[in-house]
Structure 1
Amino acid sequence: MRVVLLFVLYCFSFVVSADRLSDSNQLFDYAETAFPQFFSPAGGSTYEIDDYLVRHYPDTDNYVGIKADEVFVYGDIFNGLLKVGNIADFIELEPDYDEILAELYASGTSDVQVRGVGTVLIILADDLQGSRHQRFIIELASGQTLLIAHNIDLAPKINVLSLGDAIEFFGEYEWNEQGWVIHWTHYDPAGKHEDGWVLHDT
Structure 2
Amino acid sequence: MAETSKLLRVLPEVFQVAADTSPPMQALLAVAEDMHAPVRQVLDVIHTVPDPRRAPASLVPFLSRWVDLDWLTLPGPESSRSGSIPVARQRDLIAAAAQLSARRGTVDGLTRFLHLATGVPGFDVESVPGAFHIKVLIPAAAADQLELVSRIVKGVKPAHVTDELMVRPAGGTGGPGE
> Which TM-score applies when normalising by structure 1?
0.23
Greater Cα radius of gyration, structure 1 or 2? 2
Which has the higher relative contact order, 1 or 2, with Cα contacts under 8 A spaced 6 or more apart?
A: 2
- TM-score scaled by length of structure 2: 0.25
Greater fraction strand: 1
